[in-house]
Each structure stands twice: as structure tokens, then as C-alpha cells.
Amino acid sequence: MKQYLIKGPNKGVSGTVDIEGAKNSCLVLMASSILFEGKVTFTNVPLVKDVLTMVKLLSAINSKVIISEKKKTVTIINKKRHKLAIHHKLVSTMRSGCLLMGSLLGKYQKKNIYVAKPGGCSLGMRGIDFHIAGFKALGAKSVLKKGGYVNISAKKGLVGNKFKFPKISVTGTSNLIMASVLAKGKSVLHNISVEPENIDFINWLNKCGAKIKFIGKRTIQIKGVKKLFGREHKIIPDRIEAFSYLCVGAITRGKITVKNINPKYLYSELQVLKKIGCKIDINNNSITLNAIKKLKPIKIKTGPFPSYATDNMPILMALLTTVEGKSKIEETIFSNRYMAAMELQRMGGKIKIKSKIATIIGVKKLYGADCISSDLRTTFSIILGAIAAVGESRISRVYHGERGYYNLVNKLKKLGINIKSIS
């Protein structure tokens, strides 16, 4: 099994990183391709493992998928009727597999759709109850079958309705949009996610003939249409990847520039980096971080966009283990988001978890250790700790990180990080 071997400490790291397309945007866009007849093409595609898994999913249900690694494009052609069963093996490693439920239901409304409950990162309770409740509001019925399969259909077709999410859900929002866009009549969805990836998704659908408009800050109106027309679409840059590499600069007290990123996607995160003492320069589609000053502790709370992103919390936690003083992080989204804490503790990090709050006391030195990753963002958190640590660190289960970070080892090597992939 692949591992990463990192020797530290790596200090004053300097360089530039080109940011890939957003994984979370790409996955929902690819899932929505089921709604189209004919061809759709996506550019600026991040060819990470989650995207390749989605390729397998779509291929398994009769979509033709053409990948150009050189051009970073994915073209999806739908000429055959899709298979309507998504087996557990195909969705066990990736939560975004549940998005096929919304797209298949939206396209084949009166048919029986069978989708296994999704896998992905172990972040606590991440049910699909909101999704199902939304589908039912549109006229669908669902049954949970043995083995964790959801059987869902709308025998009379989907009909527009009002639905309010009890709690903001990123994938739930995407699923309900896909189910509503070809439904009869008008739907109004309240308390939706407005993450940049979902906004990108809405813009894409409107470009293809959908009728979706905001009628409130977190409320959209969807007028069902009979057909969508395939177009080419460039995927937005990955804000989580951008923040991750900025923190490489911060934890090494160096200078990092990330290119091909919209700074607006990282407003809250950039404010946090400024507050702890990093100098931030923004130039159109690039951000430069310079950790020239002594960094200061901070208190933050995660939340839905535009608040500080939960995905970026473990990454910040690693940085704060090296910042003198007491920092506090309150996680409000996932119950099991602090998996990185135990691994950072192995390196000498002082982190105490109580309920939803992590208290971090900065230490002068971290020390290399053998660590095990449990999820996508924890992987990068551990990498950050290892980059700053004295001595050698060995990180196992790095496949989690490769689900969301393209060419990770080579990008870090180009920055001068002492890292290699070993078997």
C-alpha cells in the first residue's frame, strides 16, 4: 500500500502552485450529465481519484465517457438508456455517488431507481434524509431496501413544490436541483447551499436551458423545462486545494503563490490568515501568502459558505499547532471532523477536543511520526505537520488524499518539500 515519506523540518518554502479545477464542482456537473441527451464537455477537469470513480460510475450505467488527460477535459455522451441501479461497490468510496440519485430520478421519473447509500470520508453522521424528503416533496416515494439500497420513483412524474432544507446541505441542494429542473411546474427551494461549487452548477444548468433564479439569499425558484441542451463548461478552480498550499507557506514561514484561483472563494479563509499574521497579496486570479511575521493564535468557527469552510478546518489545525499561544476552533458541520487531531498529537501537537471545540496550544517543535490518514482533508493536515516536523514521518492510507489532490507529491516536490511516495 502506498505511503508518503516526509523529512523535515522544511523551512521558508517558496514557490508557485497552479490550482486545478474544483473536484466538488466537477463531480456534480458530471452527475448532471445524465439529464442531457447528446454530448456535454467539461474543461479544467481535476483528474483525481474521485473524478475517475465518477467516470466508472457513469460508464457502468451506459454513459460514454471520453477523458483527455493532456487537455484536462471530460466529454460525456448519452445515446443509450441508462441502467437504473447503482451498486454499493461503485459508491462505497465516494459520497458524491448519491448525486446520481437526483439525476436519474430527474431523467427517469416514473421508473424505479436503485442507489446504494454512499461512502466517502468518515466525518460522522452524513445521512441522505434531507435528499429523500426533498424528492418526496416533488412526488417521489422511497423505500430503504436490505443491504442499504434506496428504491425511489415518482409513478405520476415529478411535480414542482416548495421545500425547505432543515439544515444546509451541499449535496442535498444539488440533488434537489437535478430532480426539479425537468419536473412539471415550479419549485421553490429554501435554505440551500450557496457554496461556489453549487453556484457554478446553477450557472451551468441555466446556460443549458434551465430556468433557475435566486429569489432570496438562500432561496431559488426553478421552472421545469422539457429539455436541456449540452454545452461546454469550464470548471471553477478548487478553493480547498488553494488554501491547502497557502498553508504550506504559512507553516514553513515561507512565501507561496497560488495561481488560477478566484480570491472571492476564500474570503473568510484569507481573513483568518491575515489575523494570524500572514501577509496576503491578491492579484486578479492569484494569491500570494508571505509568513514574514510572528504568527498569532486565533478563535474561529466553521460554517456554510461564506463562513470558514469545514474542509479547511483540519488544514488550519495543523498550522495552529506551530503558532505560539492558545487557539480555538469550533466545528459546526460534521461531528467527526477532528480526526487529524490524534495524528498531529503523535507529532507532539497539543490539541484538546471537547464536544465541538478544539483547543490548540502551539508548540516550538513538532517531531516526525508514523501516522495514518482517515479522510481526504486529514491527509493534507498530516502532511503539513510532517513538513514542519523535525525528523522523518511516514503517512499511511494516502489514497484518501489522492481522492482530492491531483499530482500531490510532485507539486510539493516542486516547492522544495522533502517528500517521496513509497510502497
pLDDT at 121: 40
- Percentage of the chain lying above the pLDDT 70 cut: 95
List pLDDT tens digits, range 28-77.
Answer: 999 999 999 889 999 999 999 999 989 999 999 999 999 999 999 999 99
| Cis ω before 9 (30° cut-off from 0) | yes
Mean pLDDT value across residues 397-419: 96
Give the confidence band of 337 by pLDDT, cuts at 50, 70, 90: confident
- Quote the pLDDT of residue 423: 85
Q: State yes or no: pLDDT of 163 exceeds 50.
A: yes
Mean pLDDT of the chain: 93
Domain 3-20+237-422: CATH architecture, name and number where available: Alpha-beta prism (3.65)
Query: What is the model's pLDDT at position 127?
Result: 61
pLDDT on residue 147: 65
Of 216, 225, 224, nearest to 192 (Cα)?
Answer: 216
In the chain, the largest separation of any two C-alpha atoms, in whole Å, equals 65
Report percent pLDDT > 90 for the chain. Answer: 83
pLDDT of residue 92: 65
Looking up cell 473568510, which residue turns up?
A: 268
Q: Where are the domains of the chain?
A: 3-20+237-422, 23-234
**Residue predicted with more confidence, 415 or 126:** 415
pLDDT confidence of residue 126: 42
Phi and psi, residue 62, nearest 5° = 95, 10
Name the grid cell of 160: 414542482
Question: Which pLDDT score, from 0 to 100, does residue 118 have?
Answer: 61
Read off the pLDDT of each residue in 262-289 and give the average, rounded to a whole number.
97
- In this prediction, residues 384-411 reach a mean pLDDT of 96
**DSSP 8-state symbol, 312:** G
- Give the model confidence (pLDDT) of 81-108 as tens digits: 999 988 777 676 655 678 899 999 999 9
Would you say the C-alpha torsion 138, 143, 149, 151 has a positive or negative sign? negative
pLDDT given at position 120: 42
- Whole-number pLDDT of residue 336: 74
Please give the positions annotated as active site: 121
Three-class SS state of 382: helix
DSSP 124-183: S----HHHHHHHHHTT-EEEEETTTEEEEE-TT--B--EEE-SS--HHHHHHHHHHHTTS
User: At the topology level of CATH, where does 23-234 sit?
Assistant: UDP-n-acetylglucosamine1-carboxyvinyl-transferase; Chain (3.65.10)
For residue 166, count other CB atoms closer than 10 A to its CB.
10
Cell of 338: 477532528
Residue 405 burial by CB count (10 A; 0-12/13-18/19+): exposed, middle or buried?
buried
The answer, yes or no, to whether residue 8 has pLDDT greater than 60, is: yes
Residue 122 — very low, low, confident or very high, per pLDDT cuts 50/70/90? very low
Interatomic CA distance for residues 176 and 170, integer angstroms: 10
pLDDT, tens only, 357-392: 999 999 999 999 999 999 999 999 999 999 999 999
Q: What is residue 338's predicted lDDT score, i.e. its pLDDT?
A: 87
Under 8 Å CB-to-CB from 295, ≥6 apart: which residues? Answer: 250, 253, 276, 277, 278, 322, 323, 324
Whether the domain at 3-20+237-422 and the domain at 23-234 fall into the same CATH topology:
yes
pLDDT confidence tier of residue 125, bands split at 50, 70 and 90: very low
Predicted pLDDT at 409: 97
- pLDDT digits over 171-224, tens only? 999 999 999 999 999 999 999 999 999 999 999 999 999 999 999 999 999 999
Instruction: Kindly report the pTM of this predicted structure.
Output: 0.93
Distance, CA of 242 to CA of 286 (rounded, Å): 10
